[in-house]
Chains A and B, each alone.
Chain A
Amino acid sequence: MSQMSNKQRIGAEAVETKGWFGAHKWLILRRLSQLSILTLFLLGPLAGIWIVKGNLNYSYTLNVLPLTDPYVALQSLLAGKVPETLGLIGVGIVLLFYFLVGGRVYCSWVCPINMVTDAAGWLRDRLGIKGASSLSAKTRYWVLGMTLVGSAVTGVVLWELINPVSMLHRGLIFGVGAAWMVVLAIFLFDLFVMNRGWCGRLCPVGAFYSLVGRWSPVRVSASLRSACNDCMDCFEVCPEPQVIRPALKGEGKGVGPVILAPNCTNCGRCIDVCSKDVFRFGLRTNNPASTIAIVAQGAKR
């Protein structure tokens, strides 16, 4: 880390070995996912093509598929209100989906704030801003707990009073109003005050989806960790760097290569920036304590 000043940009080595597209594959797919979901929501109000109605809190697709944000529904439930049948079915579908693909896939593949905080993170890196102020990455669980208890106490869906995620998404679809100021505040907070401050430390929505994906089968695995050359690019690019170490450096401790930490967003940036192709998507069950044999097999082929 101390040689950051004369270090190449993150992922430069990967671009050299894999080409620009190879080194940005998952990032491009992710942006496509985020933008196409947004486009689907916008087609109705902008072009009159009503495929999806509603917003991320609840949407109704082609008058068949209900999708409900389980975190909002849980707050409402704690406030003493049970949704209608469609709303409940929507909760079930969303919970099942994110349980299967990884809870925080919501954060990195769907949430519109991700593009804001990613932009802030990118700019922070380009401008070389170093900030000392930091909060524990566990803070978000306290915020999550506070919103749940608070909803029960006040009888109001508490986090929705200020939730920047739904404010931005709703704003884009139903008219933005002053929501852009909240979004700008998050951008500036992440840029100047705290690296990855919002998504990585504070946002209770991410905390909730971390819990949903606690046992998700789809995970990133450092299956070729023996090829790691300690370039640190994955740590630099990862929005939740603390999740990588146990898996990547676990060989000596008998820890498997799968990133099991629920805060991992399955964004796949580590796969992109690694010039040695250490990481790949895999199943959490495919997690042998030692990966030397796998590497040997790979070498034989």
Chain B
Amino acid sequence: MTEKTPKSAAARRQFIFDSAKMVCGVGMLGLGLGLYAKQSKALPALALRPPGALPEDDFLGACIRCGLCVRDCPYNTLVLAKPEDPVTTGTPFFTARNIPCEMCDDIPCVKACPTKALDHGLTDINKAKMGIAVLIDHETCLNFLGLRCDVCYRVCPVIDKAITLDLQPNQRTGRHAMFLPTVHSEHCTGCGKCEKSCVLEESAIRILPPKLAQGSLGKHYRVGWEEQKKAGGSLIDESKMLDLPDRLPEGAVLPGHYDPASGHTEAMRGMAGSEAGVIPSLPPGLGGKP
């Protein structure tokens, strides 16, 4: 900047004026860029990063937009964002509904990455967390309608772990089962095969960022029955438990009611597999006697 010393007052004025002009201009450009950078950290929910990708905030600082992961993806799953895409320009992403991740055993995309944008510590693709599948629409999912579509469950590379079919009685017919696809977050890699293969016009199951899909228990929360299992028995002295009168009408029975004093549970309507006894009128196959 100060290659020559301004000689006169006028020259000095001009010099200061020019410098101020330049600093202001560059400052405005920087402000714009900074705000744009902040915006760019908001990755659209349906744009998924490659396996092993750092959280979005860190990813945009580490990824140098070279496209090597895109080149080494054998299924053309990954693409580099173009300027008009809602994803930060030049960064890799995929859209599960177009081409999902095939979960290669050797994870070539991660190996190709020259930075730590894709974590080279990820060597088991089953540990990837590209997102979490969420059966987001219970109103259109064919299995929720009582049909046996099961496609998302069948295509899942981690079948019976990441997605299971949970039996529920079909309240509509009163005599059939519903096989509800249920995602288990600890096993789901977010590959998107389920979203891709959902037979509906718009997929009822979608891969969402974990942040969007998952709740989080308070750190101080303890789940009683798990603590009980860990301790190998009740955590309190149950014999000293005070049992208040139930104040039910004489002879009345409350289905599902647990009486701590006697340890007896009244039979409950419905729920198959519950500890309560089954109702004899249940149709065959749902716990009723054939």
Quick check: B64 and A170 within 8 Å, CB to CB? Answer: no
CA of A115 to CA of B84 in the docked complex: distance in angstroms?
24
Q: Which residues of A contact B57 (CB under 8 A)?
A: 155
Quick check: B89 and A151 within 8 Å, CB to CB? Answer: no
The B-contacting residues of A in range 143-171, CB under 8 angstroms, are 143, 146-147, 149-151, 153-162, 166-167, 170-171
Quick check: A69 and B33 within 8 Å, CB to CB? Answer: no
Closest to B19 in A: A136
Quick check: B36 and A83 within 8 Å, CB to CB? Answer: no
Over the window 58-96 of chain A, the binary record of Cβ atoms lying under 8 Å from chain B Cβ atoms (1 yes, 0 no) is: 111000001011001100100111111011001000000
State how many angstroms separate the Cβ of B53 from the closest Cβ of chain A. Answer: 13
State how many angstroms separate the Cβ of A110 from the closest Cβ of chain B. Answer: 16
Given A80-B61, A86-B114, A154-B37, are A142 and B83 neighbors across the interface (CB < 8 Å)?
Answer: no
Q: Does B154 lie at the interface of the complex (its beta carbon under 8 Å from any beta carbon of A)? A: no
State how many angstroms separate the Cβ of A210 from the closest Cβ of chain B. Answer: 15
CA of A175 to CA of B89 in the docked complex: distance in angstroms?
12
Q: Does B29 lie at the interface of the complex (its beta carbon under 8 Å from any beta carbon of A)? A: yes
Residue in B34, B64, B71 whose beta carbon sits within 8 Å of that of A157 in the complex: B64
Given A58-B114, A157-B60, are A146 and B65 neighbors across the interface (CB < 8 Å)?
Answer: no
State how many angstroms separate the Cβ of A270 from the closest Cβ of chain B. Answer: 23
Interface size, chain B (Cβ < 8 Å):
46
Quick check: A60 and B68 within 8 Å, CB to CB? Answer: yes
Quick check: B61 and A175 within 8 Å, CB to CB? Answer: no
State how many angstroms separate the Cβ of B15 from the closest Cβ of chain A. Answer: 11
Residue in B34, B36, B84 whose beta carbon sits within 8 Å of that of A178 in the complex: B84
State how many angstroms separate the Cβ of B110 from the closest Cβ of chain A. Answer: 10
Quick check: A44 and B29 within 8 Å, CB to CB? Answer: no
Quick check: A151 and B61 within 8 Å, CB to CB? Answer: yes
State how many angstroms separate the Cβ of B175 from the closest Cβ of chain A. Answer: 55
Residue in B58, B60, B83, B120 whose beta carbon sits within 8 Å of that of A177 in the complex: B83
CA of A57 to CA of B40 in the docked complex: distance in angstroms?
19
Q: Does B222 lie at the interface of the complex (its beta carbon under 8 Å from any beta carbon of A)? A: no
State how many angstroms separate the Cβ of B89 from the closest Cβ of chain A. Answer: 6
Closest to A53 in B: B71
**A72, A166, A170: residue with the most chain B Cβ atoms closer than 10 Å:** A170
- Beyond the given A138-B22, A166-B90, A170-B65, please list 12 additional residue pairs across the A-B interface where CB-CB is below 8 A: A53-B67, A55-B66, A57-B90, A76-B62, A79-B60, A84-B115, A161-B33, A162-B36, A162-B89, A167-B90, A170-B67, A175-B82
24 pairs of residues in contact across A and B, judged by CB atoms under 8 Å: A53-B68, A54-B71, A55-B66, A58-B114, A60-B68, A76-B62, A79-B61, A81-B115, A83-B62, A139-B25, A146-B30, A155-B60, A155-B61, A156-B40, A157-B63, A158-B34, A160-B64, A161-B36, A161-B40, A162-B33, A174-B67, A175-B79, A177-B83, A179-B82
* Residues of chain A at the chain B interface (Cβ within 8 Å): 44, 50, 53-55, 57-60, 66, 68-69, 72-73, 76, 79-84, 86-87, 90, 135-136, 138-139, 142-143, 146-147, 149-151, 153-162, 166-167, 170-171, 173-179, 181-182
The 9 closest A-B pairs by CB, nearest first: A177-B82, A79-B61, A87-B114, A58-B66, A81-B62, A178-B84, A154-B37, A156-B37, A146-B30
